[in-house]
Chain A
Amino acid sequence: MDNLTAEILVIGGGSTGLGVARDAALRGFRTILVEKSDLATGTTGRFHGLLHSGGRYAVKDPVSAKECIEENRVLRRTAADCIEDTGGLFVCTPWDDPAYGDEFLKGCRACGIPVEEISPAEALRREPHLHPKLSRAFVVPDASIDSFKTLSANARDVEAHGGKVLPYHRVLRLLLEGQKVTGAVVQDVRSGEERTIRADFTVNASGAWAGQIAAMAGLEVTVLAGKGIMVAMNHRLVQMVVNRCKRPADGDIIVPIHTVCVIGTTDVRVPDPDEYEIEPHEVQQMLDEGEKLVPGFRQARALRVWGGVRPLYQAQKPSEVKDTRDVSRTYTLLDHPAHDGVQNFLTITGGKFTTYRQMAEVTMNSVCHYLGTERPCTTATSPLPDSETGRYYWLSSRLAKREANLHTDQAVCECELISRRRLEEAFAQRDSTNLDDFRRQLRLGMGPCQGGFCMYRATGILHANKAHSAPVADAAICNFLQERWKGVVPLLWGDQLRQSRLDEWIFQGLLDVAHLPPASQDKVP
């Protein structure tokens, strides 16, 4: 395969990496980004979807809180199409000390976070499902943000500015000339082919995996992985982001996003960002905490559970860290040329989705410094593709789009309103036959039926339009069934279990997918 050259090579296809790549491309650098899996498969696609106001950190971590409110304002200007302006509430439930509200108010004001206390009655008028005995409530500018959309818009903008985004390309090793990083050897994990990418400067933006990449340059970087789990419920039980008004703890937030609401999260240190389990007691804990904010929470249908790992940079030795909650949520740029003598290489890690753009700006400022060029950052003022109008998306945006072609196009996925033409376009644009990639891109199979109906259709369309090969199509459906199963196994009760049994009826009873011809249950990379 052809070798490539770039001015900037970015490693990592999460929000940080895409942010850096877009920042670089907009400054006019020839940029390539590599990601070992699909975009947004690490931490970025695995959070609750909160655009922080900073309120959560106002008392405990003011540096992080200030970064959040600054970037909250920037993203509202530049990424409007990815944001639903839900607003946010911090509420004191009967389990929370009302006096903490005074600290909270003080903290928010000190950090420049707009905050307004409203009466419990007014809070209940806005959010009728909240606990009726809440004692205090505060309004802050939290919002929900679609990370898949945000990353996809960043990636399109990188390409529009001459850059390349290469998912499913794993870094095998960094190229080193003496103490200078000059690029990387990467492998296309689907074809197995290797290619060399030579670059003037390399940015390690691999989040929780940053230690692994840094080690390839002989550097020791300690990034702790803090696992958080999230449960999506099949209703918007709240229309605003609702936080518990207390020090950060497990299950203290419910984020309404698209047609669901997500409760999160936990914080447990895990040794390996690729290996962690979701424990039944963690799920039960989320439901118990949900009950405190919204009585009856348990009666709603739990749709999916997932875990993500926060990259928490730690200058201390990991053994000295007792609780990953106490590690700051701010970000860190590791200046390897200055501190480690390794040239043309930076690591940016830590931080939050909300601050990804600022992290990218700081990183590229440093890169420009080392390359001896002055090119100003424009990402704080240049809107992402489709965000030019500054209009936020709203709950029924997808329905409005679907209604435009209701009488001219098929609905492949009724739950998420995906038309056949949209799916066929995505198949044509993307070099992938993995239906899970299209799930992330289009929300295919993410609705309450969990792919029961759309998955057979998507497989048929994949076969007819793209793969033209039954083994590839069969592998795609088997792989999707397994992936979906992984997300629902910890939640199999009530209506979700019923749905799962109905889907089994379809896939196993009716289609008999389990007995497809051999070699079809292979994993798709």
Chain B
Amino acid sequence: MKYDVVIVGVGLAGLTAGLRLAQAGKRVLLLAKGVGGTHLGGSAIDVLGYRPERVEHPLAELPDFLAAHQQHPYARAGLPALRAAADWFLKLTEQLGYPFTGSLEDNYLLPTAIGTAKPSALVPQSMAAGDLRGGGQFAIVGFRNLKDFFPALLADNLSRAHAGQSDQATLTARAELLDPPGLTEPDLPPLDLARAFDRADFRAAIAAELRPRLKPGERVGFPAMLGLREPLAAWQDLQARLGAPVFEIPGLPPSVPGIRLYERLKNALSAAGARLQIGFPVTEASLAGGQCQELVTSGASRPYRWSGERVVLATGGIASGGIQTESDGAVREPIFNLPLAGVPADDTPRFRPAYFDSHPFSQVGLEVDGCLRPVDAAGRAPIANVHAIGAMLAHAEPWREGSGNGISLATGYRVSQVLLEEKP
């Protein structure tokens, strides 16, 4: 059968585009070699965090930011699409039972697992009480046999970070270490802990041990592992049992909040009639008349061929394999061999000697037109029915800008508008 749209990649960008299109009645197929970036990141939607000074009000600063970065993916998607995407995402996650909160007007300032105060626009509700703006008293809870979360270091850095702030609000942070009841293995897997928090008896035991140790007025931070299947209920229940605001702090991959989001979006896609084919990489594409006719995935027994009126490429950046590099310096987009932008000239270095510097090669990616179709240096789209979204787009530095999921959400949303012929 011929699909209306075939999307390659199931990170936030592909899932966003797929769900909007499926919910609008399009026949949608998602192909992916495996799960995407949702399982790696912290799941917060960072829109604009640094430029390079910390950004407090992203929406207010975006016009100025885009004036200075005219080729940025946000400029291709447009601010109206970003705003509509944010509204859509907040409503969607509410409906899916894993509500996000926040707005593009103000960034939260949330603790990372090492204790940096990081700006994010939209965050899972269960993280919002970690907001460091205005100070407060924080107790950070870790587990002795969990190696991916160090509450003492986190709390020390939070206090330190705040000491450098100009405002007068006070912030105190301290650590509590617990032994998770019943989970006695020396190397506790994060997902086991998350599943344990789905159980009321486990939450009750944790609360019984922790509550007497809490000081009045403290907010309580946990590693983002408070439940996998029913995280909203787990979080609410734990708050009630502790009698204090509880918040989650994302740690190393695998990302429990990302898995929660991914599972819900995937189920919503299936419910909306989309088909997901995950586990087989797209190995080649056949073209005719300047159009993509078919995509080929390598199955276990034989190659499978898929066709769609439109193809949306959402295979991610270098980290995800959407853009590949070779030992002789070659850089390519492996499915369509699309032209790449931002590749430094042969005689200029791709990376700088200092790790935290901005590296020229970081901005490599696909250049797209206003319809998010990949274009060459002359501005022509070599394949008329292929679009590209997400981390594979050129001219962005997601970690330095604090724009990672924001780009995926905005461009994923925007491509759905293009394909549905909605006005931006």
Interface set, chain A 22-72, CB cutoff 8 A to B? none
Residue of B nearest to A493 (CB): B325
**Does B153 contact A473, Cβ atoms closer than 8 Å?**
yes
B164 interface residue per 8 A CB criterion: yes
**Does A504 contact B399, Cβ atoms closer than 8 Å?**
yes
A497 interface residue per 8 A CB criterion: yes
Interface set, chain A 463-507, CB cutoff 8 A to B? 463-464, 469-471, 473-474, 477-478, 481-482, 484-486, 489, 492-494, 497-498, 501-502, 504-506
**Which residues does chain B contribute within 8 Å of A460, judged by CB atoms?**
149-150, 152-153
**Which residues does chain A contribute within 8 Å of B354, judged by CB atoms?**
482, 485
**Does B157 contact A410, Cβ atoms closer than 8 Å?**
no
Known A477-B114, A498-B319; 17 more pairs at CB < 8 Å: A457-B150, A460-B153, A464-B150, A470-B156, A474-B157, A478-B356, A482-B356, A494-B325, A494-B326, A502-B319, A505-B40, A510-B112, A512-B116, A513-B116, A515-B50, A516-B114, A517-B160
The 4 closest A-B CB pairs, nearest first, are A460-B150, A470-B156, A501-B319, A508-B399
B250 interface residue per 8 A CB criterion: yes
- Give the one of B40, B116, B161, B324 with max A CB within 10 A: B116
Of the candidates B50, B161, B187, B317, the one whose C-beta lies within 8 Å of that of A501 is B317
A340 interface residue per 8 A CB criterion: no
- Give the one of B113, B153, B351, B361 with max A CB within 10 A: B153
Compute how far the CA of A305 lies from the CA of B186 in the bound complex, rounded to whole angstroms. Answer: 35
**Does A410 contact B325, Cβ atoms closer than 8 Å?**
no
Q: List 26 A–B pairs whose Cβ atoms lie within 8 Å, in order of A's numbering.
A: A407-B185, A410-B145, A411-B147, A459-B150, A470-B160, A478-B356, A486-B353, A492-B350, A493-B326, A493-B329, A494-B325, A502-B40, A505-B40, A505-B319, A508-B400, A510-B40, A510-B41, A510-B112, A510-B252, A511-B116, A513-B116, A515-B116, A516-B115, A516-B116, A516-B161, A517-B116
A191 interface residue per 8 A CB criterion: no
**Does B164 contact A521, Cβ atoms closer than 8 Å?**
no
Interface set, chain B 317-336, CB cutoff 8 A to A? 317-319, 321, 324-329
- Give the one of B37, B54, B252, B355 with max A CB within 10 A: B355
How many chain A residues touch B (CB < 8 A): the figure is 54
**Does A463 contact B112, Cβ atoms closer than 8 Å?**
no
Compute how far the CA of A512 lies from the CA of B404 in the bound complex, rounded to whole angstroms. Answer: 12
**Does B157 contact A516, Cβ atoms closer than 8 Å?**
yes
Q: Which residues in A have some Cβ–Cβ distance to B below 8 Å?
A: 284, 287, 298, 302, 407-412, 420, 453, 456-457, 459-461, 463-464, 469-471, 473-474, 477-478, 481-482, 484-486, 489, 492-494, 497-498, 501-502, 504-506, 508-518, 521
**Does B318 contact A501, Cβ atoms closer than 8 Å?**
yes
**Does B186 contact A407, Cβ atoms closer than 8 Å?**
yes
Compute how far the CA of A463 lies from the CA of B140 in the bound complex, rounded to whole angstroms. Answer: 15
CB-CB under 8 A for A512 and B327, given A410-B147, A482-B354, A492-B350:
no
**Does A464 contact B116, Cβ atoms closer than 8 Å?**
no
Compute how far the CA of A410 lies from the CA of B189 in the bound complex, rounded to whole angstroms. Answer: 10
Compute how far the CA of A106 lies from the CA of B399 in the bound complex, rounded to whole angstroms. Answer: 61
Min CB gap A304→B, angstroms: 15
**Which residues does chain B contribute within 8 Å of A459, judged by CB atoms?**
114, 150, 153
Residue of A nearest to B356 (CB): A514
Min CB gap B329→A, angstroms: 7
**Which residues does chain A contribute within 8 Å of B14, judged by CB atoms?**
none
**Does B116 contact A456, Cβ atoms closer than 8 Å?**
no
Residue of B nearest to A453 (CB): B252
B96 interface residue per 8 A CB criterion: no
CB-CB under 8 A for A511 and B156, given A410-B186, A493-B325, A505-B399:
no
Min CB gap A386→B, angstroms: 26
B33 interface residue per 8 A CB criterion: no
**Which residues does chain A contribute within 8 Å of B365, judged by CB atoms?**
none
B130 interface residue per 8 A CB criterion: no
Min CB gap B22→A, angstroms: 28
Residue of A nearest to B398 (CB): A509
**Which residues does chain B contribute within 8 Å of A489, judged by CB atoms?**
351, 353
Compute how far the CA of A314 lies from the CA of B256 in the bound complex, rounded to whole angstroms. Answer: 62
CB-CB under 8 A for A509 and B404, given A457-B148, A492-B350, A516-B114:
yes
Interface set, chain B 122-172, CB cutoff 8 A to A? 145, 147-150, 152-153, 156-157, 160-161, 163-164
**Does A410 contact B153, Cβ atoms closer than 8 Å?**
no
**Which residues does chain A contribute within 8 Å of B253, judged by CB atoms?**
506, 510
CB-CB under 8 A for A420 and B147, given A464-B153, A486-B353, A509-B399:
yes
